[in-house]
Chains A and B, each alone.
Chain A
């Protein structure tokens, strides 16, 4: 009896703690979304309002009308950095997994670049792009973003290829498939979901970058995060407009995170845990 009571008590405690964790996780997101649909006269009042009876889309209209350009800039830059990373990353990921090219040293060096500090590369990239007259172009941001996306893509795809049993490829080879045919007909379909997962992550890493875009763009090629950071000065008290823009930046990532939920931990731990 005593044991059973203790057990259900610990269970209740567990639910309460999980409820608290959920509240802490969701409240900031809720607050931003709420601010983005609240009429301006309700914002920054004391005491704050936790719901609104007069939701408005004026801030969203402002965000879409004025910040759409930066949204598409982010879209162009992140997609490009992702496509390039997936193209070269699939080739080398396959070679690293199947032929151990460069032993352990080369893939590990590539992995270590995941921790390479952007600020260290930002300074020389600024000087180079300045000399090449490429500052404030999409290319100026896409190129350094490859530091973020390529090492990740190589390492993830290497892991996904390694999970396809080599015997499967060998069996197809005995059945008369050419090597390239095996890769196309056996390996690629099996790792296709892994490649999609990798691509979504690459997109998010590039989308979330701030430092490279901050230093290498001014206005024309500015990405959404830089635009949000800039609104602080330009629009002092436009909390609603900034919230709508920030929510606009969050939406694509949020959707992808839902798609990726099973892989989030694996992606962030670089495959160290599954």
Chain B
């Protein structure tokens, strides 16, 4: 009996050893760094207590980063959820060519985010990009997109929506397909309209899946970095400076590693709240 007990623990050991080494240890290291004045260009790194955190929370640029990240979160969810849900409902029906269409629509989310950022530079190019060309064709004037502080964040949102709406669509579609058919049959027998069926049957039945996609997307949006780095580097000014970009610039442009560590920890704590909710839902799903 004891031998059977020890065996399984041994199987888990390599995984746990590596994860302690690559996650727990670096995080403790970064926590201690966040309590030091850690400028890479000077040799001494004195202990300063919470000073990095105080500087962080009084830095208007960090406030701006929180605001930009929050706006990005709301904007992207507002675009991606309805679009993704609509497409999922569309694809849940039978139609000709479905087997080909469905995988094509899922492609964007597999593409390297840096490449997506670069595609954005091509498409939104202000003088001769195809998007402004189409706008002109429809009688609208060209927009400055990522090169103007007013529209840069919107451009990031649109680009990320191209990449991640398929995720919303795919997961919601999988949820729709696995719904039990019986309630639908009886509802139709009772003469319910399709709008009623959607509102009183589909939505409530799909609630767990909806909650799941929204929390998963939110956790990813809060970390947005790659496409912004390529498209705007946080600019113009600080118009697209998310928490991720802010942390990178503070740490690796201004070499203030101590404050970058404190910003990274604040982001990690914010995300862990979301992750807790996510895990609760995963636990419920499985029961």
Contacts and interface: CB of A to CB of B under 8 A. Distances in A.
Given A28-B162, A112-B279, A123 B30 contact: yes
Interface in A115-173: 115-128, 143-144, 146-147, 150-151, 154
A229 B275 CA distance: 30
B234 interface: no
Contacts of B112: 207-208, 210, 224-225, 246, 249-250, 253
B225 A98 contact: no
Chain B interface size, under 10 / 10 to 19 / 20 to 34 / 35 or more: 35 or more
B15 A92 contact: yes
A260 B103 CA distance: 9
Interface string B207-222: 0010011001001101
A68 interface: no
B45 to A, nearest CB: 10
A232 interface: yes
Contacts of B285: 272
Contact of A147 (B22, B166, B225, B271): B22
B37 interface: no
A257 B110 contact: yes
The B contact surface, by secondary structure, is helix
Contacts of A15: 95
Given A119-B223, A211-B226, A274-B178, A246 B115 contact: yes
A15 B93 CA distance: 11
**Residue among A146, A214, A273 with most chain B CB within 10 A:** A273
Nearest to B26: A124
Interface string B243-287: 010011001100001001100110110011011001100110100
A27 B124 CA distance: 13
B225 A119 contact: yes
Interface residues of A, number: 98
A273 B171 contact: yes
A196 to B, nearest CB: 16
Nearest to A246: B115
Contact of B90 (A18, A46, A118): A18
Contacts of B271: 115-117
Q: Which 3 pairs, one residue from A and one from B, show the smallest C-beta to C-beta distance?
A: A99-B8, A95-B11, A124-B26
Interface of B: 8-9, 11-12, 14-16, 18-19, 22-23, 26-27, 29-30, 33, 86-87, 90-91, 93, 95, 101-119, 121-123, 125, 127-130, 133, 162, 166-167, 170-171, 173-175, 178, 209, 212-213, 216, 219-220, 222-223, 225-226, 229-230, 244, 247-248, 251-252, 257, 260-261, 264-265, 267-268, 271-272, 274-275, 278-279, 282-283, 285
